[in-house]
Structure 1
């Protein structure tokens, strides 16, 4: 499905040497956090939708589309300043957290070129880096019942 982007973003994407790169922003939220953690992959902070996104380097790998599995993106955040460890501590390892991924141009921060919210799983942390998997919970491939009546699980029935 094609995404609708502004003319400025389209020119930026198609340029061989773009004058202004698209900025990627992350808004990491959890129900126990009073305020979501907001970071931008740039050297200067930016204000979007009235919220300040702090400059923090990170890498974001888009999901591979493989048949038979749910697409998942990979995220790696620098943990040098230790500012992002609060949401991991509050959420007992990031369980139940969500990450909103936004792309904007610095000259037009009011125009959201890309905006998606993904679930966070498989969070791990080292003194230098926080890594996580972003995607959706695969509800369709989960078993409907917890226990199946088979000879090995319920021998008295058979």
Structure 2
């Protein structure tokens, strides 16, 4: 899952003093949300794909490019409003939520440089931060059945 940035984006990412910045946008979707939450990690709002992303500070560790593991990201949002904590309490910790990360250059917001959607799991909250782990549910390593035939579960078979 290698990232393929445009030539302009690679130049700006490798520049010592870049004149254009790479923005990280976050879109949170959940069945209980009528409208997805859309924020950008910047000081100015931006419109991408016809949707306005509101400026909000958050920390994100995007998944690495390793092909041998399930991609995982880490998200931390400042706990600055009662709306976020109320939604987390009502939704059972955000169960069933998905987060979409988009990277764009400020000068070319219609050119999406990176786009990934991950499931939100492992949510924790304290007075200052709301943190969560993002990734995919590993269905391939889960047991196929809920009950195994063992001497303690099916003694008549043994």
TM-score by length of 2: 0.89
Contact 1:28 1:38 in 2 (8 A): yes
**Residue 35 of structure 1 pairs with residue 55 of structure 2:** no
Partner of 1:135: 135
User: What SS does the corresponding residue of 1:156 show, helix, strand or coil?
Assistant: helix
Q: 1:55-74 to 2 correspondence within 5 Å? A: 55-63=55-63, 70-74=70-74
Q: 1:63-102 to 2 correspondence within 5 Å? A: 63=63, 70-102=70-102
Q: Output the CA distance in 2 between the equivalents of 1:148 and 1:118.
A: 31
Contact 1:102 1:113 in 2 (8 A): yes
Contact 1:39 1:56 in 2 (8 A): yes
What is the total number of aligned residue pairs between the two structures?
A: 158
User: For structure 2, which runs of at least 5 residues remain unmatched after alignment?
Assistant: none
Structure 1 residues 87 and 144, CA gap change in structure 2 (3 angstroms)? same
Contact 1:26 1:100 in 2 (8 A): yes
User: What SS does the corresponding residue of 1:9 show, helix, strand or coil?
Assistant: helix
Q: Output the CA distance in 2 between the equivalents of 1:67 and 1:156.
A: 46
Alignment RMSD (CA, Å): 2.1
Partner of 1:6: 6
Contact 2:25 2:103 in 1 (8 A): yes
Q: Cα deviations across residues 91-121 of structure 1 (Å, max 9, x unaligned)? A: 2211110000000111111111111100110
**Residue 47 of structure 1 pairs with residue 47 of structure 2:** yes
Q: 1:142-157 to 2 correspondence within 5 Å? A: 142-157=142-157
Which sits farther off after the overlay, 108-117 or 43-52? 43-52
User: What SS does the corresponding residue of 2:96 show, helix, strand or coil?
Assistant: coil
Q: Output the CA distance in 2 between the equivalents of 1:55 and 1:61.
A: 18
Contact 1:37 1:84 in 2 (8 A): no
Partner of 2:18: 18
Q: How far 1:6 moved relative to its partner?
A: 2.2
Which sits farther off after the overlay, 97-106 or 50-59? 50-59
